[in-house]
Amino acid sequence: MSNKLQPVRGTHDILPGEEFQQFHTVITRARELATLYGFQEMSVPIFEATEVFARSMGETSDVVSKEMFTFQTRGEDDITLRPEFTAGIARAFISNGMQQHLPLKLFSTGPLFRYERPQKGRQRQFHQVNFEWLGDGSVEADVETIMLASHLLHSLSDKVKCKLLINTLGDPQSRAHYREALVNYLTPYARDLSEDSQRRLVINPLRILDSKSEQDQRIIADAPKITDSLSEEEKSRFDSVCSVLDSKDKKIPIFYEVIRTPALVRGLDYYTGTVFEFVSESGDLGTQNTVLAGGRYDGLIEQMGGKSTPAIGFAAGVERLKLMMEGNWSYAPDLKIFILNVDEAVSTSALLTFASALRWMLKAELDEVRSKTVASVEILRQKNFKKGLDKANQQKATHVLIFAPDELEKGQVLLKDMTGPQYNLDARFIQYDNTWAQFLQLLQIKA
């Protein structure tokens, strides 16, 4: 064993700078859209009693049967690190008596844990932004949820290419019908199926439909479709959802091609009715190209011991969204200001007083205009003027204030805009006073 400490397999540090900025941008956009669509943020524990996940997601699902991080505490409680949000939120909904506040729209974000084979876009600790809408079983809720998902992807970049796959799983009865039809069809081919799918044929035959094996896919191509097992009511409900999403007049902003996909089953037992996935065609995601996935789960709350409550939700993987965005990022530049002190004659107290005044002023001004702009102010000590500017430039400064005793006496400071191509030109003296008016104007915070 190497004596250098390494992160545990499948875990990653999110390093400061661009990497964290991207991570943060995904979560910030999701949070803004959550507010826009009337979702409230809530947080649930990172671990729960194992049965919270095992019972809800289904014992035979991939997640429960092989991907959970489960352990016993010193008190011998059986605990699992959360592999998803939905089950924990359903548990919280019941244990906090949130029934009386329905309908509820809930947003959450944070780390999740699955014991998987690590690959690009597949980690053992990853992050999601998660949306759940409880207490509304309408077609409108399905469409609005998908609009929100689509809006989220589009808000990250209008350049990424995605497809929206959509299907319906019907109610448990239709699903049982379908399961039977599928098993009847597949049984004669049992020996030709992949090893995984032979096992699934007994314990979870629907799961065979999203097998990645080519051999399995050939067999599945002619399998009966779930649509044939749906009641008329379910069919027409699903048609309503699809026809609004797909409407040619494009009044509803779904930015991506909508593809009805009868083989889309999703991996978990609790799904009922509409299910969907956004599959990215941008970035280098390989088979990890599902960036966002969700569906309706009308039976879950009741099954977990609450009152029957219709619900729909989705989650997007933050790391996958980051991969999808590769090369397509556009950030509003934050203000990054350095106060460059090139003269030892400047007293520490003058420098700190100036920095402090600048920070308090900027904070108040930005709050007042409710600007999303983030400003930072740092002191840079460097005797050599040119080196000082280079250093600020390396750190992606937007502005440098050059601080020297002579100017200081005149109430002046030299400002350099570092955002142009030739940052060492066009410096100008600005007068600073109690109003900072000229300064704010130059930073484009105030007219």
Least CB distance from residue 117 to ligand ATP, whole Å?
9
Task: Provide the edge-to-edge strand list for the sheet that holds 47-49.
Answer: 47-49, 78-81, 70-72
Tokens of 43: 């947080």
Q: Which of residues 316-345 bind ligand ATP (CB under 6 A)?
A: 316-317, 319-320
Q: What is the C-alpha separation between 211 and 207, in angstroms, rounded?
A: 7
Q: How many residues bind ligand ATP (CB under 6 A)?
A: 19
Pick 60 or 290: Cβ nearer ligand ATP: 290
Least CB distance from residue 151 to ligand ATP, whole Å?
17
Pick 286 or 333: Cβ nearer ligand ATP: 286
Q: Binding of ligand ATP at residue 11 (CB under 6 A)?
A: no
Least CB distance from residue 320 to ligand ATP, whole Å?
4
What 8-state DSSP symbol labels residue 306? S
Q: Where are the beta strands (DSSP E) in 20-179?
A: 40-41, 47-49, 70-72, 78-81, 104-113, 125-134, 162-168
Q: Calculate the alpha carbon distances from 89 to 43, 133, 316 in Å.
A: 8, 11, 16
Pick 197 or 341: Cβ nearer ligand ATP: 197
Per DSSP, the three-state class of 389 is helix
Pick 44 or 315: Cβ nearer ligand ATP: 315
Pick 69 or 189: Cβ nearer ligand ATP: 69
For residue 55, the Cα-to-chain-centroid distance in whole angstroms is 26
Q: Which of residues 121-150 bind ligand ATP (CB under 6 A)?
A: 121-123, 126, 128
Which of 235, 267, 334, 442: binder of ligand ATP (CB under 6 A)? 267
Question: Distance from first CA to last CA of the chain, Å, rounded?
Answer: 62
Q: Which of residues 348-377 bind ligand ATP (CB under 6 A)?
A: none
Q: Which residue of the chain is nearest ligand ATP when measured via CB?
A: 317
Pick 9 or 396: Cβ nearer ligand ATP: 9
Which of 288, 309, 341, 398: binder of ligand ATP (CB under 6 A)? 288
For residue 201, the Cα-to-chain-centroid distance in whole angstroms is 33
Half-sphere exposure of 242 (CA within 13 A, CB side): 20
Pick 313 or 388: Cβ nearer ligand ATP: 313
Least CB distance from residue 272 to ligand ATP, whole Å?
15
Pick 114 or 175: Cβ nearer ligand ATP: 114
Q: Which of residues 104-123 bind ligand ATP (CB under 6 A)?
A: 114, 116, 121-123
Going by DSSP bridges, is the β-strand pair 375-381/311-317 parallel, antiparallel, or unpaired? unpaired
Candidate segments 132-140, 172-180, 315-323, 387-395, binder of ligand ATP by CB under 6 A: 315-323
Least CB distance from residue 191 to ligand ATP, whole Å?
26
Q: What is the C-alpha separation between 23 and 12, in angstroms, rounded?
A: 12
Find tokens 């600007």 and name the residue.
371
* Rg of the chain on CA atoms, in Å: 28
Tokens of 155: 């808000």
Q: What is the C-alpha separation between 63 and 195, in angstroms, rounded?
A: 18
Pick 64 or 389: Cβ nearer ligand ATP: 64
Q: Binding of ligand ATP at residue 280 (CB under 6 A)?
A: no
Least CB distance from residue 278 to ligand ATP, whole Å?
8
Whether residue 405 has a cis bond before it, omega within 30° of 0: no
Judge residue 218's burial from the number of C-beta atoms within 10 Å of its C-beta, 0-12 exposed, 13-18 middle, 19 or more buried. exposed
Which of 54, 291, 362, 445: binder of ligand ATP (CB under 6 A)? 291
Q: What is the C-alpha separation between 165 and 107, in angstroms, rounded?
A: 23
Binding site for ligand ATP (CB under 6 A): 84, 114, 116, 121-123, 126, 128, 267, 288, 290-293, 315-317, 319-320
